[in-house]
Chains A and B, each alone.
Chain A
Amino acid sequence: MLSSLLFIPLLGSLLVVLLPDSRKNVYKWITLVACSLELLVCGAIYAAFDPTQADYQLLERFDWISLPLGSLGVVSIDYLVGIDGISLPLVLLTGAVMLVGALSSWTIDKRLKAYHALYLLLTATIIGCFIALDFFLFFLFFEFMLLPMYFLIGLWGGPRREYASIKFFLYTLAGSVLILLVMISLYLSVMDPVETAINIGLIGDRSEITDDIIRQVQFLLADYKIQSQQLVHTFDLRYMAHGGNYLPDSFLGPTGEIIVFGLPSRMLAFLCVFLGFAIKLPVVPFHTWLPDAHVEAPTPVSVVLAGVLLKIGGYGFLRIGWGLFPDGAAEYALLLAGLGVISIVYGGFNALAQSDLKKMIAYSSVSHMGFVLLGIASLTSEGVNGAVYQMASHGVLSAMLFLLTGVLYDRTHDRRIDSYRGLASTMPAYTALTAIAFFASLGLPGFSGFVGELFTLMGSFQSLWLPGWMTAVATLGIILAAAYFLWTLQRMFFGPLWSRTEFTGQLTDLTARERLMLIPLAVLALLLGLFPNLLFNLSNATIAQWIQRFSVE
């Protein structure tokens, strides 16, 4: 079932490529249908998911590459997908946001074939990131995502699109190099207990595997009783998360005392992974690609970028950074939370200084994603649950905010805040939805933003790793959010109606298609805010197990 999430958009993309140009008004329908199907499958997955289970579910696995390398052991790369309580909310979010983005793509009017093919490709790679459980597969999607994104910004973007797209590309690439290094080191340090058991003749077939056998293999490994030719190395994230599967004395072995650049190797590896995903989240000071990318990207791409792409950063923290290196996470909790707080406050201040609506929202994203980092770094149940929740909530709300910006931009091609005044008089429905999105984003109870901020802050305050004043500084973020959102609301929407003269007559209220995109998002934000257990029920069991590795004995 999970694989269909990958193949629906890929097939759609192929179909767009194969259809002749004369059929170009079909493309958007293909995208829309593919994304709707995708959301339907997401719904089915939601129904099939058992929230009481902490482990990965709906696993699908095929041997992909298996290559004996003599004394270097056996290379094994699997096609392995599955979900748990951390990835499911993000998969659902992706389904919803990509569909809204598809609807929003209807205003794209040039190079339709390329656009829609790339958009569907992007959908597949993003979903791929969230469901891949083999590090190699994950990395493949993670890298491949850059390609459609690069072209989507670079070809359909605003005036400085080349600069923005190349900046985005290089920034993220720099991050992935670090992740790649860690991936290879991990690979060399970890064995696949199942395949190894087969190799050394403990069992004959995968189906015979039991926990006892795995433990036996791990004991053998620890006692140096397995010859290196028989070891099967793996990229499987499930095995990487277990200390017993690490080769003794290996580079990233849990007991290894290898010092690199003055740091223990595992700490260094953790910092590399953190940095790689911190660029994606983004964390200040690695965030400057974001405002540029947002400002230049066309509306649907902004929606996808803020709505789901940034979440891959947070997801990477949870699954790879914190998941594989809990020791590093505990060691650097204070530093990481500090960066989170800096992102919250710094992003908020920058948002306050913007004169471009889209840039203001981009910086507000930086601020809101800071809560995600703060929550994860707190290593508490509240904080991590809150962080996952905040990611979903921000996905919905930022999608809505960028769509709203797009509405105005479509009409006048001007996003400057001071080009408008008193819009409430001529665009009442637009104003109402903007006000809802703004208030939801600034954390009004009843909407989803409140729960995310409440829980991440609560977690950071309860955390044993963090001092209380850190939370106090972070609450400055919620004051700043009120300031920049309400100031914008006051400047653009209230007061007597005024806009630059060339816009007269262009400031019409929302069309049916725009309502169709915005209202479901508003309802979703409200639903999540009123019934947060809808989401927490999904993530609870997994995070409870996840958090155990940080519990202080």
Chain B
Amino acid sequence: MFDENTIHTLLWLLIVLPFLSGTLSLLAGRRINLWAGGTAAVLTLAGLGLSVFVATQTGPDVLTLRTDWLLIPGRAVPITFRLDALTLLMLVIVHFIALLVQIYSISYLHDERDRYRYFGFLSLFIGSMLGIVLAGNLIVLYAFWELVGLSSYLLIGFWFQKPAAAAAAKKAFIMNRIGDAGFLLGIFLLLFQSGTTDLAELPDLFVSNGPLATLTGFCLFCGCIGKSAQFPLTTWLPDAMEGPTPVSALIHAATMVAAGIFLLARIHFLLTPDALLLITIVGTITMLMAAYSALYQTDIKKVLAYSTVSQLGLMVIGMGTSNVTGALFHLTTHAFFKAGLFLAAGSVIHGVHSQDMRQMGGLRKAMPLTFIGWAVCAAALAGVPFFSGFLSKETILTGAFDWAGAQGGLAYVIPILAVLSSGLTACYMARQGRLVFFGDARNPENRAHESDRLLTVPVLMLAVLSIGFVFAGNPFSAAQGWFFRLFPAVDNHGGHLWIALLSISVVAVGLWLGWRMPVLTQSTAMSRLSEHNWYLDGFYKRLLVRPFVRLAYLSYGFDRRVIDKLVDFAGIGTVVLAHMIGWADRMIVDGLVNGASWLTHRLGNLTRSVQNGRVQSYIASAVVGLLVILWFLI
């Protein structure tokens, strides 16, 4: 057992290393193109080793690490890191999938001129993601949360010359920001109520009761809505597929989008029943809508993207029904099989140079390894027994039915819709398999060939990890598996046979329907609704984006025409007033002065005329004067 200081140093190293390697890679520029991928992968491997090592060295206790970052009177914001079972799980998942993705990318992007940039951004992402999972208080978590958003932005927009990629990157960041604004308010509400955001102190200080607590929970959930693409902020994730496919696998399927679920697991104890209900409803809406949207997509990656949204919805249902372990279990299994699916899709795209599934077909012969990898992962996603996805999905569904049983009545809508969505999942995956790997090649120009080992080995490794026995010996229940020993469920959801049977039959029907879906579907109102993702994008554009931009122009118009005009008017008014005063000055003040001089002049003339030098008139005046005086005297 190492002493605590060593562990602390190792933890710091764990976070700082990726940032350091990312920054160095970005600063070094193209000259390290050749080395960037390899070095980054080695560092990730070291990180993986480190986290496994830390895992073996620390007991079941929570390890915390605290450094003062910011101190002002009355408020301290420390940097705290926290190492517990959940962190360790995430550390391993993030490192492991990142490692596979980096190895995969070395081959996938070997023609790229800016590989240093790609691997640099990827390292930044890994560092920020590790920051999220290690964060010991919500402010630190929020900081890394935003940084993850940045790396997502940079990687979606990696091919910035493509206008669609640049637009998608911007959209992702802004939609995430909207969720994050709510998240930030939630943090403020927490601070306001309990004076801390520390995950270790909160359980004692936060009173999870009353409408304010519900509001707090909902605001914090807003962060999850943004990052995990829950309804109504779903639309950025399908667009994010403009990024390189390995990025989609790592960030937009396995790790970053799962950060929202991770957040819910962290703050689950402070969510009130009302908040949980709301969360469950949002998760259900998301799951169903996205599953339907995946149904008619023609782009191989878009199907998987909508599927990711849908599965995230399922995890949110798990969280909302207080089935934290189940949701985390699904997060884990999903991370492996969805990353595997994306990497398999990347391998296909690499082979046929197209993302349109209508151009594919019959690839199972040309790309057997990719096909096997894909098939295993797809079976896991669809929820076929003996595969990992089946186990985790069953856990959530069981929890949801139990929850509905406790709530009674209308609450059964939730698990029923979830089962229905899982049928849709099976359906679109069967359709994808049929379109891509079976039948004849529809585009004869495609000379598809199997990808090299750097591409296929990661896919196959992920496929192996998608087999049910990895997680539990019992093929129908994971309750006895290692995962549930690591994360003991609060109330053990004992398996119900009827739920397993129900979902297996729904999946079977879904698979059969999906297999039978025609290659070229006729465009109907139903299919268009799916293809356009319920017209959410158009809806937002018309209802939010345009009015928002119009408001911006309006306010600028107001600024120029009203406020500025008032200022100008005041200026002009002053000048006019000055001219008026000038006129008054000339006419009245000057006029008075001139008038006075004129009057004096006249008076002078008058008096002068009296003194005219003639004696007769003097005598006359004197006599008149005398008479007047006499008159008054008498």
- Where the two chains meet, the residues of A that have a C-beta atom closer than 8 Å to any C-beta of B are 167, 170-171, 285, 288-289, 346, 349-350, 352-354, 380-382, 385, 422, 424-425, 439, 443-446, 450-451, 454-455, 457-458, 461-462, 468, 471-472, 475-476, 478-479, 482-483, 486-487, 489-490, 493-497, 532-533, 536, 540, 543-544, 547
Which B residues, 73 to 87, have Cβ-Cβ distances below 8 Å to chain A?
Answer: 73-75
- In the complex, A497→B143 CA distance in Å? 34
Using known A-B contacts A451-B70, A479-B177, determine if residue A350 contacts B559 with beta carbons closer than 8 Å.
yes
**Residues of chain B lying within 8 A (CB to CB) of residue A495:** 160-163, 166
- Check B552 for interface membership: any CB of A closer than 8 A: yes
B552: which of A350, A450, A479 is its contact (CB, 8 Å)?
A: A350
- Check B515 for interface membership: any CB of A closer than 8 A: no
B567: which of A171, A471, A486, A543 is its contact (CB, 8 Å)?
A: A171
- Cβ A532 vs Cβ B69 within 8 A: yes
- In the complex, A285→B555 CA distance in Å? 12
- In the complex, A170→B578 CA distance in Å? 15
- Cβ B185 vs Cβ A533 within 8 A: no
Query: Closest CB-CB distance, A278 to chain B, in whole Å?
Result: 14
Binds A, one of B144-152, B324-332, B391-399, B580-588: B144-152
B72: which of A352, A354, A540 is its contact (CB, 8 Å)?
A: A540
- Cβ A457 vs Cβ B72 within 8 A: no
- In the complex, A385→B69 CA distance in Å? 15
Residue in chain A with minimal CB distance to B212: A468
- Check B4 for interface membership: any CB of A closer than 8 A: no
Given contacts A167-B567, A424-B161, A487-B170, 16 further A-B contacts (CB under 8 A): A288-B563, A288-B564, A349-B555, A349-B556, A353-B549, A439-B150, A450-B146, A457-B184, A458-B75, A458-B191, A476-B181, A495-B166, A496-B163, A536-B70, A536-B71, A540-B71
**Residues of chain A lying within 8 A (CB to CB) of residue B69:** 532-533
- Check B438 for interface membership: any CB of A closer than 8 A: no
- Cβ B174 vs Cβ A486 within 8 A: yes
Using known A-B contacts A350-B559, A479-B181, determine if residue A543 contacts B73 with beta carbons closer than 8 Å.
yes
B157: which of A289, A457, A494 is its contact (CB, 8 Å)?
A: A494
- Cβ A425 vs Cβ B72 within 8 A: no
**Residues of chain B lying within 8 A (CB to CB) of residue A425:** 161
- Cβ B163 vs Cβ A471 within 8 A: no
- In the complex, A471→B185 CA distance in Å? 8
- Cβ A352 vs Cβ B552 within 8 A: yes
Residue in chain B with minimal CB distance to A384: B72
- Cβ A475 vs Cβ B185 within 8 A: yes
Residue in chain B with minimal CB distance to A493: B160
- Cβ A445 vs Cβ B559 within 8 A: no
Residue from the set B71, B163, B181, B549 with the largest chain A CB neighbour count within 10 Å: B181
- Cβ A350 vs Cβ B556 within 8 A: yes
Contact with A along B35-78 (1 / 0, CB 8 A): 00000000000000000000000000000000011111111000
Residue in chain A with minimal CB distance to B75: A382
- Cβ A496 vs Cβ B146 within 8 A: no
- Check B553 for interface membership: any CB of A closer than 8 A: yes
- Check B167 for interface membership: any CB of A closer than 8 A: yes
**Residues of chain B lying within 8 A (CB to CB) of residue A457:** 184, 188
**Residues of chain B lying within 8 A (CB to CB) of residue A285:** 563
- In the complex, A468→B70 CA distance in Å? 24
- Cβ B147 vs Cβ A445 within 8 A: yes
Which B residues, 568 to 604, have Cβ-Cβ distances below 8 Å to chain A?
Answer: 571
**Residues of chain B lying within 8 A (CB to CB) of residue A540:** 71-73
B181: which of A352, A475, A490 is its contact (CB, 8 Å)?
A: A475
**Could you list some 26 contacts between A and B, CB below 8 A?**
A167-B571, A170-B571, A288-B567, A289-B567, A353-B552, A353-B556, A381-B73, A381-B74, A382-B72, A422-B161, A424-B160, A439-B150, A445-B143, A454-B139, A461-B189, A468-B192, A475-B184, A479-B174, A479-B177, A482-B174, A486-B170, A494-B161, A495-B162, A533-B69, A536-B70, A540-B73
- Cβ A381 vs Cβ B173 within 8 A: no
- Check B278 for interface membership: any CB of A closer than 8 A: no
Cross-chain pair count, CB within 8 angstroms: 137
- In the complex, A481→B139 CA distance in Å? 20
Question: 3 shortest A-B CB distances, which residue pairs?
Answer: A494-B166, A445-B143, A353-B556
- Cβ A532 vs Cβ B70 within 8 A: yes
**Residues of chain B lying within 8 A (CB to CB) of residue A424:** 160-161
- In the complex, A385→B73 CA distance in Å? 9
Residue in chain A with minimal CB distance to B157: A494
Contact with A along B538-568 (1 / 0, CB 8 A): 0000000000110111011001000110010
- In the complex, A493→B166 CA distance in Å? 9
**Residues of chain A lying within 8 A (CB to CB) of residue B139:** 454
Query: Closest CB-CB distance, A339 to chain B, in whole Å?
Result: 14
Query: Closest CB-CB distance, B30 to chain A, in whole Å?
Result: 10
- Cβ B143 vs Cβ A446 within 8 A: yes
- Check B513 for interface membership: any CB of A closer than 8 A: no
- Cβ A444 vs Cβ B563 within 8 A: no
Which B residues, 169 to 211, have Cβ-Cβ distances below 8 Å to chain A?
Answer: 169-170, 173-174, 177-178, 181, 184-185, 188-189, 191-192
Query: Closest CB-CB distance, B334 to chain A, in whole Å?
Result: 28
- Check B142 for interface membership: any CB of A closer than 8 A: yes
**Residues of chain B lying within 8 A (CB to CB) of residue A454:** 139, 184
**Residues of chain B lying within 8 A (CB to CB) of residue A489:** 170
**Residues of chain B lying within 8 A (CB to CB) of residue A494:** 157, 160-161, 163, 165-166
**Residues of chain A lying within 8 A (CB to CB) of residue B188:** 457-458, 461-462, 471
Query: Closest CB-CB distance, A447 to chain B, in whole Å?
Result: 10
- In the complex, A313→B632 CA distance in Å? 77
Residue from the set A461, A487, A490, A496 with the largest chain B CB neighbour count within 10 Å: A490
**Residues of chain A lying within 8 A (CB to CB) of residue B189:** 461, 468
- Cβ A478 vs Cβ B181 within 8 A: yes
A353: which of B147, B184, B185, B555 is its contact (CB, 8 Å)?
A: B555
**Residues of chain B lying within 8 A (CB to CB) of residue A385:** 72
- Cβ B73 vs Cβ A349 within 8 A: no
**Residues of chain A lying within 8 A (CB to CB) of residue B165:** 494
- In the complex, A487→B173 CA distance in Å? 11
Residue in chain B with minimal CB distance to A163: B568
**Residues of chain B lying within 8 A (CB to CB) of residue A483:** 174, 548
Residue in chain A with minimal CB distance to B550: A353
- In the complex, A490→B170 CA distance in Å? 7
- In the complex, A476→B157 CA distance in Å? 25
B143: which of A353, A439, A450 is its contact (CB, 8 Å)?
A: A450
**Residues of chain B lying within 8 A (CB to CB) of residue A496:** 161, 163
**Residues of chain A lying within 8 A (CB to CB) of residue B173:** 482, 486
- In the complex, A540→B73 CA distance in Å? 7
Residue in chain B with minimal CB distance to A478: B181
**Residues of chain A lying within 8 A (CB to CB) of residue B68:** 533
**Residues of chain A lying within 8 A (CB to CB) of residue B147:** 444-446
- In the complex, A483→B181 CA distance in Å? 13
- In the complex, A385→B160 CA distance in Å? 39
- Cβ B177 vs Cβ A482 within 8 A: yes
Residue in chain A with minimal CB distance to B562: A285
Using known A-B contacts A382-B72, A385-B72, A444-B147, determine if residue A353 contacts B553 with beta carbons closer than 8 Å.
yes
Residue from the set B74, B165, B556 with the largest chain A CB neighbour count within 10 Å: B556
Contact with A along B257-274 (1 / 0, CB 8 A): 000000000000000000
**Residues of chain A lying within 8 A (CB to CB) of residue B74:** 380-382
- In the complex, A496→B73 CA distance in Å? 51
Query: Closest CB-CB distance, A317 to chain B, in whole Å?
Result: 19
- In the complex, A461→B559 CA distance in Å? 29
Query: Closest CB-CB distance, A404 to chain B, in whole Å?
Result: 18
- In the complex, A536→B567 CA distance in Å? 38
Residue in chain A with minimal CB distance to B182: A475
Residue in chain B with minimal CB distance to A461: B188
- Cβ A544 vs Cβ B73 within 8 A: yes
Residue in chain A with minimal CB distance to B150: A444
- In the complex, A530→B552 CA distance in Å? 33
- In the complex, A134→B108 CA distance in Å? 68
- Cβ B146 vs Cβ A381 within 8 A: no
- In the complex, A336→B153 CA distance in Å? 36
- Cβ B192 vs Cβ A461 within 8 A: yes
Residue from the set A171, A381, A454 with the largest chain B CB neighbour count within 10 Å: A454
**Residues of chain B lying within 8 A (CB to CB) of residue A444:** 146-147, 150
